[in-house]
Amino acid sequence: MFLRAVLLPFAWTRLLLLWVAWFGGQMSSSWSYPFPEAARRGWAFLPGTALDAFGRWDAHWYLDVAARGYELRGPLASVQSNVAFFPLHPWAVGALHALLPSAWRGEGSLFLCAIAVSNAAALLGLWLLWLLAREVTGDDDVASRTVLYAIVFPTGFILSAPYPEALFLLLSVGALLAAMRGRFLLAGLLGLLLALTRPGGVLVAVPLAWLAFTQGKPRRRGALLASALPGLGLALHAGQLWRITGDPMALFHAQAAWGRSLAAPWQTLLHPRDFHAWLGPLEAGAIALVAALSAWLLARRETRVPGLWGLVSLLPVLLSGTMLSSTRFAAVLFPAFLALAMLARRPGLDRAFVATFSFAQAVLFLFWSRFFWVA
């Protein structure tokens, strides 16, 4: 099943994305890209290959952490720095890069290591997603559709980019699947790693605690303690940033330079900061889609845990005052894909989802490859 449900659709879509990137090479680059030299020359990390198209925007920051570690470049709240980015993906990239012979090391090889880490995590994460979807629905076809929708989602290309999204998918699915099978210590450890991957990762403690309370009766205390491990992961990262910057609240203050600060959910929805003229409606739509589908899952007993995870995962966006990057964040909120797969039992509806998502992904990746802001 791994070959048919995961590897083949993933490989075909990535080949098509590379073709889209090659085609996009005939277009002009965005004049507003924050690294103008890369936009002028037409590549960011790896010249002469369409593979470079995956390395845009925040890829520079994650690779900067992998190469040099965290660096304070000015007041946290007003000067953008790599302190705002979480460490697990850069650590993994740096570790793989360190295994290479010294003569091979450089910016290009670091980028290739980041691509390798992301794609390996994506394949494993999608396979675990297939297992989780089959476990909660008992239906192989639903499981395969869930994986396919995750692959062709409009911003699903981010799973192959040097971003932490693929690791986030792998660890979030793995943590929930382990807890659903009663392996709460493993679930907690995966949750700890998840909390080092992206700001919302720590919230996996909520569905883990729910499962520990409802299913861990013979050893409930140990299960509940394990569900608190994601909080430990976030605390360790906060402590690391405190040591580096001297600011005990650096974890939060660093986000202000990127336009994120505490706001009421209704303010974020109705009056978001940095509302993008044409991406804003897509970002709002992505949040609404995940919320509605997760709520539908929450109302069903067999899918309650994925539904709970989908809803709590939206909190970092709703409390940040901006919906910027929401389409990217939504790409790994797998409960939405599970719900769509359960609803699309009719072949016509399934084909409509795949065609719409695939076309949108090709268009967005075309712009992404030419240095335009997409996610």
> What pLDDT tens digit does each residue of the chain (375 aa) get?
888 899 999 999 999 999 999 988 888 888 888 888 888 888 889 887 889 999 999 999 999 999 998 988 877 777 888 888 999 999 999 999 999 888 888 888 999 999 999 999 999 999 999 999 999 999 999 999 999 999 999 999 999 999 999 999 999 999 999 999 999 999 999 999 999 999 899 999 999 999 988 875 667 778 888 999 999 999 999 999 999 888 888 888 888 888 888 888 888 888 888 777 777 888 888 898 999 999 999 999 999 999 999 999 999 998 888 888 888 999 999 999 999 999 998 889 999 999 999 999 999 999 999 999 888
DSSP 335-350: HHHHHHHHH--SHHHH
Q: How far apart are CA 274 and CA 313, in angstroms?
A: 21
375 lies in some domain: no
Identity at 144, one-letter amino acid code: S
52 lies in some domain: yes
- Which tokens belong to 69? 């570690």
Q: Which domain holds residue 16?
A: 2-369
77 lies in some domain: yes
Residue 260's alpha-carbon distances to 42, 247, 251, in angstroms, are 30, 18, 12
273 lies in some domain: yes
Do residues 287 and 181 make contact, with C-beta atoms less than 8 angstroms apart?
Answer: no
374 lies in some domain: no
Q: How far apart are CA 188 and CA 208, in angstroms?
A: 8
Helix (H), strand (E), coil (C) string for 202-230: HHHHHHHHHHHHHHCHHHHHHHHHHHCHH
Q: How far apart are CA 38 and CA 177, in angstroms?
A: 41
Do residues 30 and 370 make contact, with C-beta atoms less than 8 angstroms apart?
Answer: yes
111 lies in some domain: yes
How many domains does the chain fold into? 1
- Which tokens belong to 97? 């890069």
Count of Cβ atoms closer than 10 Å to residue 347 Cβ: 8
User: Please, what's the largest Cα pairwise distance for the chain?
Assistant: 63
60 lies in some domain: yes
- Nearest CA to 353 out of 157, 149, 155, 137 is that of 149
pTM: 0.94
